Amino acid sequence: MARAKYNRRMDPGDYSEQAPAPALAGWVECLWQARRDAPATEWVVPPDGCLDIVYSRELGLRAVGAMTVEQRFEFAGPLESVGVRFRPGMAGAFLKLPADLLTDDWAALEDLWGASARQLRRRLEDAPTAAGRLRALADALVPPKDAAGPVERALHFLTAANGAGDVDWMARQAGLSPRQFRRRCLEQAGLGPKRLARVLRFRYASRLAAAAGRPDWSAIAVEAGYFDQAHLIRDFREFTGRTPAAAGASFQFHHLSMPGSGLVVEA
């Protein structure tokens, strides 16, 4: 595995998302594409609790893990990437390894999928358009036959609540001790449940700010479930190294959407 090291600052038109097919909606948050014809000085990506599969001709086909803090990716030339973003805790059924092995890191997909990844890369290289590459990525994902298990359901509810769930309660619902639930959460999401909850709350606050245009950070702190604005500022400084206003200016167009879930839940 190689240490994550890429970045960007891009305009809103450079990045777009599309919803997955209904069969994948419980596991996949979105398919996305990013393009920049001129060199991108930096790509600022805040933590969002998600794992991605990312393809570009320059860097190949990679599995990118969940982030504990903001990452900044630098490219010397034009950029065109496509990717699939999994919902928090839902990538394991596809990547076939514990998610915490990729936290703040990435791996060549060939190291995980072998020949299947090589075949997928050839299809991606042959596709003439970004839309064709997105179709190739989506076609490579086979939805799990089984319904989501208790840990997946608990992580789904935590995500839907934007991190506001009680971790001990979720552990009980999953039939696990808090310690067991923490270990399973690390394995499936790449982050412990408390860290994941904080990241999801931070993400929700960022989305609220992007939607507001001229955000009232005190009101956002209340809406997102922080104790007060000072609490929000501390999280933003920890995750991005900057104030909320400065951080929001960098990533307001990226990694902020959270489409509704199609999670399959057993009665």
What SS3 class is residue 193?
A: helix
The pTM of this model reads 0.87
Q: Which amino acid is at 126?
A: D
What SS3 class is residue 72?
A: strand
What pLDDT does residue 75 have?
67
Band of the pLDDT at 146, cuts 50, 70, 90? confident
What pLDDT does residue 88 have?
96
Is the pLDDT at 9 greater than 50? The verdict is no
What pLDDT does residue 79 have?
77
- Tokens 């092995």 belong to which residue? 101
**Which one is the CATH code of 1-267: 1.10.150.20, 3.40.109.10, 3.10.580.10, 1.10.10.60?**
1.10.10.60
Buried b (16+ CB within 10 A) or exposed e, 74-94: ebeeebbbbbbbbbbbbbbbb
> What is the C-alpha to C-alpha distance for residues 103 and 45, in angstroms, rounded to an integer?
14
Distances in Å between the Cα of 18 and the Cα atoms of 21, 25, 135, 210, 234 are 9, 11, 11, 19, 32
Is the pLDDT at 43 greater than 80? The verdict is no
